[in-house]
Structure 1
């Protein structure tokens, strides 16, 4: 049993180093990615998706996918605010996220509609 533990220790040590090195490489790769554009669909009195993880500089395109409903997306936060105004069916509005933090996007017409944005 003691021999088995001695054999596993180097594997655990070097395996941990490999994971740490991979994490550093992934972090560097993530930092070098260009800004992205994400589509958020407003349909059926919901945002799709309901949670979104983004980086500073990413763009959100809000698309009203309902055939008859009007939506009114907004964010009110201490460091950042946004108001898309009334969006008719099929309309799109773009938002560039430049401020890091967690934000809640709501619909002024449908209060149960919520989208959580996590911006790094």
Structure 2
């Protein structure tokens, strides 16, 4: 009996985020930017974490999945899983995969490059 259920679940099409008017699209277009800004305003993060939130906000608003750093936890696995998806739009991949990717992006290591933004740079006024 459970085998039949497994086949049904495996045959179900993935929920996509690029369907106009869908919950999945509203999460990527409306909810994610609001959440990132709320988290940035609510918590006294140090500069490196604020820059990470800036990067995530840029990704969400621009709708472009950026790769994780190779040194990130499971970075190599995410690179493999994201082959053909990274660099594309969050809304064009299965919804749950896109959500997991944005969460992993939030947890990536701090940006220490010379081009990193300043300490108070989260754009909460947007």
TM over 0.5: no
Greater relative contact order (Cα < 8 A, sep 6+): 2
Relative to total residues, which structure has the larger strand share, 1 or 2? 1
Give the TM-score, by structure 1 length.
Answer: 0.30
Relative to total residues, which structure has the larger helix share, 1 or 2? 2
Give the TM-score, by structure 2 length.
Answer: 0.29
